[in-house]
Amino acid sequence: MPNALIRSALAAGLLAAAPMAAADTIYVSNEKDNTITVVDGTSLTPIKTIPVGQRPRGVVLSKDGKSLYICTSDSDHIEVLDLASDKVVRTLPSGPDPEYFALDPAGKLLYIANEDSNLVTIVDVQRGAVVTEIPVGVEPEGMGISPDGKYLVNTSETTNMAHVIDTAARKVVANVLVDSRPRRAVWTADGAQFWVSAEIGGTVSVVDAEKRQIVKRITFAVPGVPNEAIQPVGIVITRDRKLAFVALGPANRVAVIDAQSYEVLKYLLVGQRVWSLAFNPDQSRVYTTNGVSNDISVIEVGSLKVVKSVPVGQAPWGVVSRP
Amino acid sequence: MLFCLGTLVALLAANAHAGEETVQIGWLSRAVHRSLPLSYLDQPPPDEGVQGARLGIADNNTTGRFTGQSFELAEAVVPEDGDIAGGFRELAAKGIRLVVTDLAASELLTVAGLPEAASATFFDAATVDDRLRGEDCRNNILHLLPSRAMLADALVQYLVAKRWRDLLLAVGHGEGDEEFAADIRHAAQKFQARIVQEKSWTFIPGARRTDTGHFAIQAEVARFTQGITYDVLVVADEGDEFGDELSYHTFDPRPVAGTQGLVPSAWARPHEQWGATQLQNRFLRQANRWMTDRDYGAWMAVRAIGEGSVRSNSADPDKIAGFIHSDRFELAAFKGARLSFRAWDGQLRQPVLLADARALVSVSPQPGFLHQFSELDTLGIDKPETKCRMR
């Protein structure tokens, strides 16, 4: 099998080229079968399936790494999965239909996008209570919090804006018009930029965080793939801002971008309808959720190659990696 | 009063932006008494279309809060025997030049041809007529819903992708049936399907709602389809007169598609892909009923104006219309593609859903039907074959 050949060749290359990635555990939310799949990062095999609430989508780790917060959208709350016992031990209020969220750098507040009600809900994790709600555009979706925690960027899918929210004042302070159906807003580690993917627009806008202006609109073209199928969603950017990875949805590719020159370096073929992306702890790998092929792909950052796909549950949506 | 005119005031207070601008959008429709379709289940809603426009206004205003723009809908609903030109003039007198219409083809042409309409842009949210995108096209009309030709192409592409190439075509005598049948013939030729036989449906089941009416139908449909070798029974019955009674009654076990059975449409109740659930939910909450094609067409029309206004940063109808006509315009409308207007006939290019009453079956264009510019242009009348000469 060519597949096996490629895999063994890549595995060999990986051993030679990079030190073995530190062991991690990968958690994948499966939107359709209401579970979290646990994948062992060393063997890259699924080791456990945990039943959770309905339609789990966004996932984020607590700062101590002991809990996983899960947007269980159709259950209309956030579930807290204890990663020692692998059991849901608490639920947090979220407002209706939570899809995606961000945890503040202190690990105390969750900022939740309520897709169905044009609100961002702020929840105090410890008290398990809603602090406040902020009205935003139609169908809030992406949530990105600045590294210093001062600003939250929320995207609204039908309003086509990235709203910059001052987290102290809890008010929208700026709006940046981006391309159609913006999905994710991801900050660079230095806090100088945030990147916004536009699923229908087919672009990624790089926004200067201080000026709140678009400095670059990155476009994509994959030979043999219809233009309409290029639908950017998930973004991850390396800490040193050298590389960015963008999931292109039904184009079944992840674009690799030079995050300094904004040039697209490469398109990596992954599973079908690639959606969310996550680094492993040392950023030597990117994991992708592939919603239609029901697997995750593993990308080696050093070689920029896809080294493995791991079957998970139905319609995998979110992914995180824990040391 | 000849017509009732209601204005839906902006639902949401706008931000304290300096120089706030209001975009006035007209709604022009005629209150038509509609007969009950064959199925008792889908009674025609009296507010079809306009509910979609109102939801579009609410969506636009949510955006407008951040851009300092607000949107208002001025609704002109002309009574059944009223004067449609008067309805338009009432809107024009208010300075409104962006008008969403829910009108039949002939009335739309009447209104669009008025001298006062020369500088207006009409957003046709109701018709599927090919002639309005062809020989009777007008440069001041944009069409939101897929044309009949697009619907037929979407269906036949799917049937060909399934390798169900042999079609039996049953054509009714209602309005639009012959046009739909013609588009099916054209699609069959284009995508290499075969119409093995075409039959006219003439049976009038006078007593179909009586207790045993279904026995007569059962026998009639079996006779109608007996002795023919085909894969799919394609029906052209836009008025819902008989199409719903074909399924399960054919002589051989064959699926039904077309205006009933597996139906190509702009919107469908079972559609929940690409975030469509959100739009379905918003509409249900507002209107307390499901969104129809015409509601969706009107929603897209108002959203297109909203996009034109936000992107051109203007409330000027000319600037908005200019942006909508430009190649920078794109509309996200919950079908997984960016939608834009075809320059050659004013038709919104868009995917077409294929659904039955309970399930979304597929979405066309089907993979593998290629086009040099946009795969969406494999549906409907493409530039080289258009009969539209804009005037």
Nearest residue in chain B measured CA to CA from A119: B62
pLDDT of residue B218: 87
- Dump pLDDT digits (tens) for B96-124: 999 999 999 999 999 999 999 999 999 99
- 8-state DSSP, B306: H
What would the pLDDT profile of B316-349 be if each residue is shown by its tens digit? 999 999 999 999 999 999 999 999 999 999 999 9
Please name every residue paired with A255 in a beta bridge, in sequence order, or none if there are none: A246, A267
Distance CA A164, CA A106 (A): 19
> Which of B55, B59, B63 should we substitute to test contact with A (largest number of A Cβ atoms within 10 Å)?
B63
Judged against a pLDDT cut of 70, whether residue B128 lies above it is answered with: yes
Q: Is B275 on the interface with A (CB under 8 A)?
A: yes
The overall average pLDDT reported for chain B is: 90
Reported as a pLDDT band with limits 50, 70 and 90, residue A22 is: low
What pLDDT is recorded for position B211?
61
Across the A:B interface, residue pairs with CB atoms under 8 Å apart total: 69
What local confidence, expressed as pLDDT, does residue A7 receive? 52
Tokens at A66, concatenated: 């002991």
Is the Cβ pair B63, A201 closer than 8 Å?
no
| Confidence grade of residue B18 (pLDDT, cut at 50, 70, 90) | very low
Q: Which amino acid is at A152?
A: L
Token code pair at residue B374: 């946009």
Q: Report pLDDT for A21.
A: 53
Measured CA to CA, the distance from residue A112 to residue B260 in angstroms comes to 42
Average pLDDT score, chain A: 92
- pLDDT surpassing 50 at residue B8: no
Q: Per the CB < 8 Å rule, is A116 touching B336? A: no
Question: For A138, which of B62, B67, B310 is closest by C-beta distance?
Answer: B62
pLDDT in tens, B254-285: 999 999 999 999 999 999 989 899 999 999 99
What is the pLDDT confidence band of residue B2, given thresholds at 50, 70 and 90? very low
* Chain B, window 66-85: residues with a beta carbon less than 8 angstroms from a chain A beta carbon: 66-67
* pLDDT attached to residue B209: 58
Residues of B with Cβ-Cβ distance to A201 under 8 angstroms: 330, 332, 338
In chain A, the residue whose alpha carbon lies closest to the alpha carbon of B339 is: A200
Q: Which residues of A278-289 are buried (b: 16+ CB within 10 A; e: fewer)?
A: bbbeebbbbbbb
Contacts of A135 in chain B (CB under 8 A): 65
pLDDT of residue B12: 33
pLDDT in tens, A235-280: 999 999 999 999 999 999 999 999 999 999 999 999 999 999 999 9
Which member of A115, A156, A177 has the closest CB to residue B310? A177
Residue A6 has pLDDT above 60, yes or no: no
Choose between A116 and B130: higher pLDDT. Answer: B130
Closest by alpha carbon to A161, among B83, B341, B311?
A: B311
Per-residue pLDDT, A173? 94
* Distance (Å, whole) CA B145 – CA B379: 13
pLDDT reported for residue B292: 95
Tell how strand B256-258 and strand B232-236 pair up. parallel
CB atoms within 10 A of CB A213: 11
Q: Which two tokens stand for residue A13?
A: 């290359």
Q: With an 8 Å Cβ cutoff, are B336 and A250 in contact?
A: yes
Q: How far apart are CA B261 and CA B247, in angstroms?
A: 7
**A161 contacts B336? CB cut-off 8 A:** no
User: For position B206, what pLDDT does the model report?
Assistant: 58
Distances (CA, A) of B143 to A311, B101, B128, B294: 44, 10, 8, 12
The mean per-residue pLDDT over the stretch B122-139 comes to 97
* Local confidence band at A54 (pLDDT 50, 70, 90 cut-offs): very high
Is it the case that residue A9 has pLDDT exceeding 60? no
Mean pLDDT across A16-37: 82
CB contact under 8 A, B376 and A116: no
Contact, B152 vs B141, CB < 8 A? no
Closest among B62, B142, B64 to B326, alpha carbons compared: B142
Please give the ipTM for the structure prediction. 0.73
pLDDT at B214: 72
Q: What's the gap in Å between the CA of B264 and the closest CA on chain A? A: 20
Which of B326-330's residues contact partners 24+ apart within 8 Å by CB, and which partners? Answer: B329/B304, B330/A179, B330/A180, B330/A200, B330/A201
8 Å CB contact of A228 and B338: yes
**B331 at interface of A, judged by CB pairs closer than 8 A:** yes
Distance (Å) of CA B304 to CA A224, B1, B112, B300: 30, 32, 19, 6
CA-nearest of B70, B90, B66, B89 to B9 is B70
Per-residue confidence (pLDDT) for residue B66, from 0 to 100: 87
My answer on whether omega of the bond before B365 falls inside 30° of 0, hence cis, is yes
Q: What is the 3-state secondary structure (H, E, C) of B252-284?
A: CCCCEEECCCEEEECCCCCCCCCCHHHHHHHHH
Q: Over 50: is that where the pLDDT of A10 sits?
A: no
Cα–chain-centroid distance for residue A260?
Answer: 21
What is the tens place of the pLDDT at every residue in B22-65?
999 999 999 987 777 667 788 889 999 999 999 999 999 998 88
Q: Give yes or no for residue B161 having a pLDDT over 60.
A: yes
Give the pLDDT of residue B373: 85
The DSSP string of A139-167 is SEEEEEE-TTSSEEEEEETTTTEEEEEET
For B23, the 3-state DSSP assignment is strand
**pLDDT value at B19 more than 80:** no
pLDDT value at B10 more than 70: no
Radius of gyration of chain A (CA): 18
pLDDT attached to residue B210: 60
**What tens digit of pLDDT does each residue of A170-209 get?**
999 999 999 999 999 999 999 999 999 999 999 999 999 9
- C-alpha span between B186 and B176 (Å, rounded): 15
Does A219 contact chain B (CB < 8 Å)? no
B288 secondary structure, DSSP code: S
pLDDT of the residue at A17:
43
Q: Which amino acid type is present at position A220? A: F
